[in-house]
Structure 1
Amino acid sequence: MAIQADNMLPAALREQWPYPPRFASVNGWRMHYIDEGEGDPVVLLHGNPTWGFLYRDIIGPLVESGRRVIVPDMIGFGLSEKPVREQAHTLDGHSANLTALMRQLDLSKITLVCHDWGGPTGLSFAMSNKGRIRALTLMSTWAWPLPPAEFHTRIFPWRMMHAPLVGPYFLGRHKALAGRGVYLSVVDREKFARTAQAAYEAVLPDPATRLLTWVWPRWIPLDQDARAFERFKWLEQELSRSKFPTMIIWGREDEVFDAVTFSNRFKQVIPHAEGPHLVTGRHFLQEDSGPEIADLIRSFLDRLDKRQVAQ
């Protein structure tokens, strides 16, 4: 059983999201995505509890710069189908869903932009499909087993909020993450509440649709016995061997993955990475600095194009 959410976006917000919806069947689920522009593809990946709307200020500038921009909603979020069984939401399952979409679209020369859970999901795809990847951009995410972040080791709110009974109650019934969670993780909260918050709440309208907001975080490894420990260990090893051009962008005020600790950790794993470029933003930095992020990605890709021509 699953829930579909084709027409949940409030009319007042549709002007900010004018893109024709597209749908693909991935591993038996109905995935929503947008596909705009022409040129080498840039794939923008969101995390928990957001969806493609997070990138609304980034899509247009990239399309205008001559890029094809693809923004999928992870299964369980946005306008994609929402399985109501916890077993449908494994880390490998979400990576497999993304892989299925990328293969259906037969994409190559992909620039993968990863944020939050879009990091482990997207990078797992990238490290398993290296022939399809051109470059990487990393924002407020991680790709190693331990430690995830000090934030995730706290009894309150993190471990308590994702306990078997407390998680469904607060994150499901009372939409603690889908409602207040994003709001608290932006800098300009007044603007966010006025222009964007409804778009995140509308696509997760009831406890059943919010299942992934409390299930997915349970895949963050907190010790060596965690079920995803080996997956993250493999991911870090593969990423450390990769030679893909990489750019790091981070929010100065990020309270989940602090800018200094986590951007430096990525620099250790990927020494050739450009950055970090620091912008205004907490964890959901796209809400505060979308146009600046778009310009950084555009400039990064322009330099790669020039380098390719020179070769």
Structure 2
Amino acid sequence: MEASETAQRFTHEQWPYEPKFKRVNRWRMHYVDEGVGDPVVLLHGNPAWGFLYRKFIKPLTAAGRRVIVPDMIGFGLSEKPVREQAHTLDGHIANLTGLLRQLDLHNATMVCHDWGGPTGLGFALSNPDRVRALVIMSTWAWPMPPAEFHKRIFPWRMMHAPLVGPYLLGRHNALAGRGMYLSVVDRRQFRAEAQSVYENILPDPGSRLLTWTWPRWIPLDDSARGLARFEWLERELGKSKLPTLLIWGREDEVFDHKTFATRFKALLPHAEGPELVTGRHFLQEDSGEEIADKINRFLDRIGERQS
């Protein structure tokens, strides 16, 4: 489906930003580019898209920052390959790298959430000369052990089984529908203003391929295909001195703050936080403006220290 057709599935009031596109690794990648100043790159995961950050853009641009919001290949208004081979973790890191290098970003702050963690950190650790700071939210960057949530037979591992995954997440769009609905605190507000947007941006089973294939890259044992990349992420992150802010959803049941924010703090002892906000896994839905304010204040502090 062409981006123009998909764009008709939400209103200008819901997403009032001019669509921009670049070719990355042969795919057409959509992004939003608003404001001026040092760039802040807002990275989503599965099954979201840039819409997840709609409450961040105005507070960040009003504070004098340039905001870049990419849609990962396979999501949002970006092209949606129908071959699973297009959706490796290294491929997504390469796509993001291709976009940000074409934009020639420097002094960037990478805001990393869910799969935006491994992809955004993959870019940052490979391009430290282009990155100013990190904001890490409800994600992970190491091979083992996985989250307790991802080890459960039901619902997680069953949802991504060879037959059940395409049926539930492909045919019935379960992750963008009920999955996201269950992963916010204020479900009434989410249903009223956002749920249909997430569902409609993935209008058919072919467009939903990534929702059930990308999670297969979460390492569950030593034979996992993503193991080497996550080992590299953990090793390189432990060497990082980039200013870092940890923000976590207090109610997150996927990457709980007591386990995952604490482990990031051990890897990055200089990091600020973790600062807890109202929110399950998609904390941007419940606390978007509050998180944007925390990012602004964090970057202001960095600027004061560096001036």
Deviates more, 1:10-19 or 1:77-86: 10-19
Q: Is the 8 A contact 1:31 1:74 kept in 2?
A: yes
CA distance in 1, matches of 2:289, 2:99: 27
Question: How far is the alpha carbon of 1:35 from its aligned partner?
Answer: 0.3
- C-alpha change, 1:70 and 1:129, in structure 2 (3 Å) is same
CA distance in 1, matches of 2:9, 2:260: 38
Q: Which runs of 5+ in 1 are unaligned?
A: none
Question: How far is the alpha carbon of 1:4 from its aligned partner?
Answer: 3.4
5 Å-filtered alignment, 1:171-190, equals 171-190=169-188
CA distance in 2, matches of 1:145, 1:242: 18
Q: Deviations over 1:263-298 (max 9, x none)?
A: 101001111110000000000000000000000000
The CA RMSD measured in Å over matched residues stands at 0.9
Is structure 2 residue 216 aligned with structure 1 residue 195?
A: no
Match of 1:57 among 55, 59, 62: 55
Tell me the equivalent position of 1:36. Answer: 34
Q: Is the 8 A contact 2:245 2:273 kept in 1?
A: yes
Q: Is the 8 A contact 2:9 2:201 kept in 1?
A: no
CA distance in 1, matches of 2:10, 2:50: 17
Tell me the equivalent position of 1:144. Answer: 142
Tell me the equivalent position of 2:124. Answer: 126
CA distance in 2, matches of 1:4, 1:149: 36
Using the aligned pairs only, state the percent identity. 73
5 Å-filtered alignment, 1:1-311, equals 3-10=1-8, 13-309=11-307
- Name the amino acid aligned to 1:58: F
- C-alpha change, 1:167 and 1:264, in structure 2 (3 Å) is same
Aligned residue pair count: 307
CA distance in 2, matches of 1:56, 1:69: 11
- Name the amino acid aligned to 1:138: I
CA distance in 1, matches of 2:252, 2:124: 25
Question: How far is the alpha carbon of 1:10 from its aligned partner?
Answer: 4.9
- Name the amino acid aligned to 1:273: A
- Name the amino acid aligned to 1:144: W
Question: How far is the alpha carbon of 1:77 from its aligned partner?
Answer: 0.2
Question: How far is the alpha carbon of 1:12 from its aligned partner?
Answer: 5.8
Normalised TM-score (structure 1): 0.97
Q: Is the 8 A contact 1:4 1:82 kept in 2?
A: no
Question: How far is the alpha carbon of 1:31 from its aligned partner?
Answer: 0.3
Q: Is the 8 A contact 1:45 1:113 kept in 2?
A: yes
CA distance in 2, matches of 1:287, 1:12: 17
Question: How far is the alpha carbon of 1:202 from its aligned partner?
Answer: 1.3
Q: Is the 8 A contact 1:143 1:232 kept in 2?
A: yes
- Name the amino acid aligned to 2:3: A
Q: Is the 8 A contact 2:35 2:61 kept in 1?
A: yes
Q: Is the 8 A contact 2:9 2:197 kept in 1?
A: no
Question: How far is the alpha carbon of 1:308 from its aligned partner?
Answer: 1.2
CA distance in 2, matches of 1:307, 1:272: 14
Normalised TM-score (structure 2): 0.98
CA distance in 1, matches of 2:220, 2:159: 15
Question: How far is the alpha carbon of 1:90 from its aligned partner?
Answer: 0.3
SS of 2:238's equivalent in the other structure is helix
Q: Which runs of 5+ in 2 are unaligned?
A: none
SS of 2:58's equivalent in the other structure is helix
